[in-house]
Chains A and B, each alone.
Chain A
Amino acid sequence: MVFFPVNLLFRFLILSLVVSSRLSISRTRSKQATTKMVKAYSQEHTYKHPWERVTSASWRKFADPENKRTLSHILEVDTLNHKLDSESGKLYTTRAITIHAPGPWFLRKIVGQDICHCVESTVVDAQTRSMQLATKNISLQKYVEVEEKIRYDPHPDNPDGWTICRQETSIRIKPLSTLASMAEKIEQKCVEKFQQNSAKGREVMERMCKYLEAESSSRGISV
């Protein structure tokens, strides 16, 4: 669910900048923010589709025109590199994801851009049936680092029919003057945004799975 971090990222940036400018004017706090703020969240979701179908959906979710409307902030997804280990059945892929993340004009002034680049690394192990994705922003890193890890495994209760998705997100806010005291409020906003966007991402995945299910029954391909 690659699209989520960047909305989040910009929400963060906006809040951070607002907060830091306010604080620097009032100068109520001094340099306590030399350490990075790190926050981590995790989520789980069960897809009632087999692992093969869910991972196929994951590859396709950005390309489908229907999903493009939902994920309209995704400008481009390019495959940068891929490697197949033909001995072990592992597939390694690196993709670049370019996202349009508009903020208010003053943010644009400061940051100098309103697109953000993320890199997504994926490993699929066909033998053990696992897919792991890690996505992080490679631009705007001096403000915030968001890293999202997702893994898809066959569900222990129904390994051939269901898939469990585990998702972990960590957010590191870089100290922009005196951010620390406001971190709790920002965090709360972030959590809300994160949850909204995760739901959206699952929606897209569910739709893609249904589509693949219909396609496979009409073509006799079992994915």
Chain B
Amino acid sequence: MGFLRDKRNSSSSSTTTSPCADLRAAYHNCFNRWYSEKFLKGHWDKEECVSEWEKYKDCLSKHLEDKNLSRFLEAEGVKRIPASISK
């Protein structure tokens, strides 16, 4: 079923954001460090990783051609707050 695999590659390449992989890794590394070492310890007054985020976001907006995803990049993406599971 080799032809399926080929098709898969061609179809997924249209939505891939892998050109941003390095910027993504830089941002996620920074975020993970900030989350564990600052945010969880009560230092949430200041946002960090801002320049990493800006670079990554610029790259993403160029490569997220998929309409379903790019609409989430617009400012209100975080409106969707998960409805809570009762404790």
Contact = CB atoms under 8 A, between A and B. Distances in A.
A132 B77 contact: no
A113 B11 contact: yes
Given A79-B27, A86-B47, A149-B82, A115 B12 contact: yes
A203 interface: no
B73 A81 contact: yes
Interface string B43-70: 0111100000100100010001010110
Interface stretch (A8-16, A90-98, A190-198): A90-98
A48 interface: no
Q: Is the interface of A mostly helix, strand, loop or mixed?
A: strand
A166 B45 contact: no
Contacts of A52: 36, 40
B43 to A, nearest CB: 9
Contact of B36 (A56, A93, A100): A56
Interface residues of A, number: 51
A197 to B, nearest CB: 19
B47 to A, nearest CB: 5
Interface residues of B, number: 46
A89 interface: yes
Contacts of A93: 78
Given A96-B69, A126-B39, A91 B44 contact: yes
A84 interface: yes
Contacts of B44: 84, 86, 89, 91, 126
Interface string B4-48: 100110011001111010001101100110011101101011110
Chain B binding surface, main DSSP class = helix
Interface in A99-145: 100, 102, 105, 108, 113-115, 117, 119, 121-124, 126, 132-134, 138-139
B11 A56 contact: no
A66 interface: no
B82 A132 contact: yes
A56 B84 CA distance: 20
B28 A76 contact: no
B85 to A, nearest CB: 5
A183 to B, nearest CB: 25
Given A81-B73, A96-B72, A138-B68, A59 B32 contact: yes
Contact of A115 (B11, B17, B18, B42): B11
Contacts of A80: 60, 69, 72-73, 77
Given A151-B85, A221-B36, A76 B18 contact: yes
Given A78-B60, A80-B60, A133 B28 contact: no
A88 B7 CA distance: 48
Query: Which A-B residue pairs are the 4 nearest by beta carbons?
Result: A134-B82, A81-B77, A92-B78, A223-B36
